[in-house]
A and B are shown apart, each in its own frame.
Chain A
Amino acid sequence: MNIRYIFAIAMAIFASAGSAWACPYCDSDVGREVAAGIFNGEFAFNAVLTLLPIMVLMVIVAAIHFGTPWHECFSPSVRNKSTPSDTTVRSTTGVGDE
């Protein structure tokens, strides 16, 4: 299927989604209190609280992926047995398999 048709269908679905807003509480006293409880002065703070562990985990994954200058990678180097003399470890990218 042509990508433009797919895009057009997707846009039509999203455009019609507004009419399918099925929030059962939004137009009620409870709904308004819920909205006020979410979108208030603490919104940014609560967002930081929610995302803080994720940001820390991203730093850890980045350290695994790009390496750290002071720590050996989890996986030791595996060398081609046909080139036993190749024993150097690249110092520019930190330690690792490369």
Chain B
Amino acid sequence: MNNRMNRRPLISAGTMMGIGMGGFVDGILFHQLLQFHNMLSAKLPVRDVDMRTLAINLEINMFWDGLFHVFTWIMTAVGIAMLWHAVRQENVPRSTRTFVGSLSLGWGLFNLVEGVIDHHILHIHHVTETSGHLLWDLIFLGSGVALILLGWWLIHSDPIKVDQPGYHAET
């Protein structure tokens, strides 16, 4: 019998969920609660414009924010499905450390990839739509790197033991 454990399905599921949840943190916290920026707030500004333009740009940005949230929701849902599939496999250890590390990895990847593409390459929005946005953009990238490193460390330092209770499939 091949009892070799395989954490890859757990890691990919956790990473997918981390990406989705990281997207929700950005969308809910920065776009809606703090209103630092919107999806296209660099192209369609919501600062220092007249009231009519503000109303129009806010509504347009809300549409694209909503579309972004649709796909973060889909990613989270797919991640949940992947997790369910993973835990049903006998050779996938149900490791909290690996799962939490994967969530951190996913969240960090979201911050890093979305930050590089949207803030630095495409310039469709920045963390704050002010003259000092570069510092905040770099801090955002740094948070992504930190979360990736944390996740990587948690995953790599997981002392999985084959003979420990809980790592065997329930009969």
Contact = CB atoms under 8 A, between A and B. Distances in A.
Given A54-B75, A60-B109, A81-B163, A49 B122 contact: yes
Interface string A55-98: 01110110011010000011111111111001000000000111
Interface stretch (A3-11, A13-21, A32-40): A32-40
Secondary structure at the A interface, as helix, strand, loop or mixed, is: helix
B135 interface: no
A79 B114 contact: no
A53 interface: yes
Contact of A65 (B9, B68, B93, B155): B9
Interface of A: 25, 30-31, 33-34, 37-38, 46-47, 49-54, 56-58, 60-61, 64-65, 67, 73-83, 86, 96-98
Interface of B: 2-9, 11-12, 15-16, 19, 39-40, 44, 52, 55-57, 59-60, 63-64, 67-68, 71-72, 75, 82, 93, 98, 106, 109-110, 113-114, 117-118, 122, 124, 152, 155-156, 158, 160, 162-163
19 contacts: A25-B55, A34-B56, A34-B59, A37-B60, A38-B64, A49-B40, A51-B67, A57-B114, A60-B113, A64-B12, A65-B8, A74-B8, A74-B152, A75-B158, A78-B7, A79-B3, A81-B162, A97-B6, A97-B7
